[in-house]
Structure 1
Amino acid sequence: MEMKDLFEKVMQKSINMALATSVDNKPNVRVVTFAYDPARAGKVFFTTFNRNQKVKEFAENPYVACMPIPESPEADAQVRIFGTVQKSSVSLDEIIAIIAKKYPGNADTIKEGGSMMDIYEICFDEAYVTAGMNPAEKVNV
Structure 2
Amino acid sequence: MSAIEEYTRILNSQPYMALATSVEGVPNVRVVDYFPDLYQPNVLYIRTNQDKPKVAEFQKNPRVSFATIIQGRYEYIRVQDAQIRRVENHQTAGVKATFLKKDPKFLEKMGKAGSPYLYAITFSEASVTVNPVDAALKILFSE
Report what 1:138 is aligned to: 138
Contact 1:36 1:98 in 2 (8 A): no
Offset at residue 78 of structure 1 (A): 1.2
Unaligned runs of 5+ in 1: none
Unaligned runs of 5+ in 2: none
* Equivalent position amino acid for 1:84 in 2: Q
Which has the larger displacement, 20-29 or 113-122? 113-122
* Equivalent position amino acid for 1:91 in 2: H
Q: Percent identity of the aligned residues? A: 28
Aligned length: 133
Which has the larger displacement, 19-28 or 81-90? 81-90
Report what 1:63 is aligned to: 63
C-alpha separation in 1, matches of 2:19 and 2:135? 22
What TM-score does the superposition give when structure 2 sets the normalisation length?
0.81
Q: Describe how 1:1-141 pairs up with structure 2 within 5 A.
A: 1-70=1-70, 72-75=71-74, 77-82=75-80, 83-91=82-90, 94=96, 95-100=98-103, 107=105, 111=109, 114-116=112-114, 117-132=116-131, 133-141=133-141
Query: What are the superposed Cα offsets for residues 50-101 of structure 1, whole Å, 9 maximum, x if unpaired?
Result: 121001001111110111223x3125x210113010001451671531322x
C-alpha separation in 1, matches of 2:69 and 2:16? 6
Contact 1:49 1:113 in 2 (8 A): no
C-alpha separation in 2, matches of 1:130 and 1:22? 24
Question: Is the partner of 1:4 in helix, strand or coil?
Answer: helix
Q: Which has the higher helix share?
A: 1
What TM-score does the superposition give when structure 1 sets the normalisation length?
0.82
